[in-house]
Each structure stands twice: as C-alpha cells, then as structure tokens.
Amino acid sequence: MQKKKSKILVLGFGTVGQGFYELFHSKQEALGLKGVSISEIVDMKYGHIIDPEENILDELKGGKTYPKIEPVQAIKNSDANIVCEFTWLDLKSAEPAFTHIHTALGLGKNVITTNKGPSALKFRELNDLAKERGVKFLMKGTVMAGTPSFNLLELLPGIEVKSVRGIMNGTTNFILGSMEEGNTFDIALQKAQQLGYAEADPSNDVDGFDAAAKITIISNLLGWNHEFNKIEVEGIREINQEQAKQKTKLIAYADRNTAYVKPMKLSNDDILANVKGVMNAIEFETDTLGIIYSMGPGAGRIQTAQAAMTDLVSLFR
C-alpha cells in the first residue's frame, strides 16, 4: 500500500486512541510515515475532528468539543483508507465496534483494532469480508498489547504451532501476586483498580473472560476456531492466599482440539510461574523450534498504542 496516499480515521479517542495519536506523531518521521496522516477523529464525547492539529490533546483537555456525528456515517463519508477502531469492549454483542469494523471493511478500508469483542466473537465473518475486499483486518492490540504474541509467528515461515499457553491477563496476575504477598483477594483487587489495571467492573478480568477472548483470538488466527462461548472458563475468585503462594496462575491454553482458561498450580521451574505483577507471557509449542516464549506488558496506554503502530507499519510492507 502507498504510504503517500494514506489517511487514518480514528474511532474512539479515549486512553488508547490518544496514546496512539501521540505515539504516531512521535514516531512518524523515524518510521518514514510522513505521507500518512490522522485525518479524522470520531469520539462520543469530543465529536468529529477533521484534520486535527498536533496539539489537539491540549485543546480537548481545555474542554473543546466538535460537532457530533454517527460513527457509521463518518466511516461512510470518510476518504481515509485506514480505520483505527478503539471504542469500548462488549464481550456479549461485540458492538458498536463490530458494526464500525464491518462497515469499514465493506467499504474497502483497512482496519486496525485493539477491541477484543469483534476479534473474538466475529472473527471469521470480518476476516472473510477483509479478504473479499482485498484489505487487512489487524488486531495485534487485542492480545498482550504491543508485546509480541501471535505476530511473532510471522517471523517463522512454515512453523506449525502445536499448542499455546500463557498468562494473558495482567489484572489477575497482579492480584495473584499481591495475594502471594499476603493480601486478601478484595484488597488485591482494590489495589489493581487503584493502579488502573482492572476495570471499575473487573468481572471480565477476574472471571477469566478477558483471557478467554484472547485465547479465542489466537485460536482463530491459527485456524483452530474455538468458539468464545464454548471455551471452558474459570476465574480466580475462589483462589485463596495459600494457593496463590503455591504459584497458582490464571492460565489460558489452546491446541487444535481444546481451549480453556483456569487457575493452575505451576511448578517452580515453569517459566510462567515466574511472570510477576501485571506482566503477560505466552508460550508456543512448535514443530521446528520446540518451545518459544514472549513476555512483556499486556496493557497500558502507550503499550497498547504500540500494537496499533505495529499493525499500521505492517500495512506498508
């Protein structure tokens, strides 16, 4: 794809959208993306911003807003050839992100998203549509933020993945680590919320659904096609301090035949047993390399923005 002609429409200008905006401008020159621009931003709160100035974040902090527009209408009207979908997560309906992404792909626009809803629940439909229209549906930010996860496999032509195992939810890993240090579940959860790791309603994290969405997405990308609603999911609410001290971790696992998320007691020499705090890690069992790992942050403003940058740059390869 031509860098010179590329325009980006950003949908959703919250934490990730703003992080991406900043990161894009700070790395644009170094990445040779001078011909690429963020030409539009659409957000429920801020409205429709056309050709935003670089200081837009300061303006918005000062309370400035723009005319409102329906996101679908904005996508249809837009001449951007890349849509970055950063709206909120709904693991039941995948909306409104699904409709945004479906509309954009249908119009022949490339889509980059960090939203697990459409990627976990509607992967095949959206991926088929992207293929049909000759565009890309990219979702690196849905699994382990910018830390290499499934995209590592692009560096390994022909490799066959036999299984995937990982710690893919930072909030629960932080809670279990905090319980290992002697805190109760409630105190550990409160800390995770204060530090901004967990959501105000943290049930997607603590009940395992966030990790289940991530293992579903990986399984979709590997062609195993496990369904989100059929995966065995168990969270960490029943885990006590004693179990946390014995290296119990919330493990997401998939191979061709099965997929699950559940707390598991790991042996001390298991690399995943030593993944601390909000860190994430993934292990691939492969045919040619045996076991390979990647570890790093799985959430955060700039960490997730990095994932969208990775996807953006991949469009021009």
If one asks whether residue 85 binds ligand HSE (CB under 6 A), the answer comes out as no
C-beta of 207: minimal distance to ligand HSE in Å? 12
Q: Which of 137, 259, 298, 312 binds ligand HSE (CB under 6 A)?
A: 298
Is residue 228 within 8 A of residue 121, CB to CB? The reply is yes
Residue 67 Cβ vs ligand HSE, minimum distance, rounded to whole Å = 32
Q: Which is nearer to ligand HSE, 144 or 161 (CB)?
A: 144
- For tokens 């096609």, name the residue: 225
Name which position in 46, 86, 137, 197 contacts ligand HSE (CB under 6 A): 197
Provide φ and ψ at 144, rounded to 5°: 65, 30
Of the residues 85, 180, 205, 311, which one makes contact with ligand HSE according to CB under 6 A: 205
CB closer to ligand HSE out of 71 and 298:
298
d(CA 55, CA 76): 27
Nearer to ligand HSE, 19 or 52 (CB): 19
Q: Which two tokens stand for residue 270?
A: 């298991």
| Residue owning tokens 């590997």 | 222
Q: Which of residues 52 and 117 has its CB atom nearest to ligand HSE in the complex?
A: 117
Site string for ligand HSE, 157-196 (x = CB under 6 A): ------------xxx-------------------------
CA distances from 48 to 70, 89, 116, 285 (A): 9, 21, 24, 46
* Residue 82 C-beta: closest distance to ligand HSE, Å: 22
The residue within the footprint of ligand HSE, chosen from 40, 180, 210, 283 (CB under 6 A), is 210
Answer yes or no: are the C-beta atoms of 146 and 310 closer than 8 Å: yes
Residue nearest ligand HSE by beta-carbon distance: 171
Shortest Cβ distance from residue 213 to ligand HSE (Å)?
8
Cβ-contact 74, 102 below 8 angstroms? no
| Dist CA 11 CA 84 (whole Å) | 6
Residue with tokens 């995937």: 164
Q: Which amino acid is at 130?
A: A
Q: Considering beta carbons, is residue 143 or 222 the nearer one to ligand HSE?
A: 143
Name the residue among 128, 290, 90 with its Cα closest to residue 209.
90
CA gap 308, 302 in Å, rounded: 10
Integer Cα distance of 21 and 17 in angstroms: 6
Orientation angle between helical segments 209-221 and 123-133, nearest 10 degrees: 40
Counting residues that bind ligand HSE (by CB under 6 A) gives 8
Which residues have a catalytic role annotated?
214
Block residue for tokens 């994932």: 307
| Residue number with CB closer to ligand HSE (11 or 167) | 167
For the CB of residue 249, give the shortest distance to ligand HSE in the complex, in Å: 13
Provide, rounded to whole angstroms, the least separation between the CB of residue 205 and ligand HSE: 5
Residues interacting with ligand HSE, by CB under 6 A?
169-171, 197, 205, 210, 298-299
